[in-house]
Structure 1
Amino acid sequence: MNNNTQTLLFILNDAPYGSERSFNGLRLAINLNEQDEAKTEIKIFLMSDAVGCALQKQNPSEGYHIQQMLEILLAQGAEVVLCKTCCHARGLSDLPLVDGVQIGTLDDLSRWTLQADKVVTF
C-alpha cells in the first residue's frame, strides 16, 4: 500500500434483503473503488444478519443482487470476511459461500479497525 491509498473498512449488520442497508453499503464500496482520483483498499466485515449476504445461489426476483455486488467487490480486490460467531449462530458455517469470502473472528475486525483510515457502518 502506498501513502496515497486509503484503507476503508465497511461493517455491515443487516440482512441482504428486506432493508437496503447492506445494499447501500456495498453500493458505496463499489463506487469508491471506481473513483479515478482515489486509491482505496476496501475491507468488508459482515456481522449479524449481514452474514447472509455471502451465501451462494441468491436469486432475487427483482431489484439489486447482493451476491453479484460482493463478486464485483472481490474482483476489484476487496477483502470480505464474515463473523464466525454470527455464522455459527445462524447455521451458515457449512453452507456454500461466494468464492473469495472468508470466515473470520472479532480479532480480524479489531485489527482491521485499528489499521483503517475510515470505518463506515451500515
Structure 2
Amino acid sequence: MASEKVLAFTDSNFDTEVLKSDKPVLVDFWAVWCAPCRAVAPIIDEMASDYDGKVKVGKVNVDENRVVPGKYGIRGIPTVILFNDGKVVDQIVGAAPKTSFKQMIDKVVTN
C-alpha cells in the first residue's frame, strides 16, 4: 500500500526514528479499517516523494502500536503529526487535501 519511501514506525523504533531524527518527520497515525486513512494514504506517499531527502515520512498503525498513539493523545484517525527536533510542530486530524500537508511541512522545510 505505502511507497518504499514511507517508513513503518512502531512503539519500539519511534524514539530513534522520529524523536531523534536529524530531519523533520511526518507521521501518519492510521488503521487498516479506517476509510479516511485510505483516502489520505496516497497523499502521504506523495509527500514522501515530494520531500525525499528533506523530510522523513512514516506511519504508525494504531491497532498494532498502542504506546505512541496514547502518548500523543491520538483519539481520531487519521491524525498526521509533524515533528521537528523531537517536538510536535503541527498536526492535522481527519482527511485533508494535499495542500494542507504541504503547507504544514513548508513551515519547517526550506526548498
Which range, TM-score by smaller chain? 0.3 to 0.5
Bigger radius of gyration: 1
Please report the TM-score for the alignment, with normalisation by the length of structure 1: 0.31
User: More helix by proportion, 1 or 2?
Assistant: 1
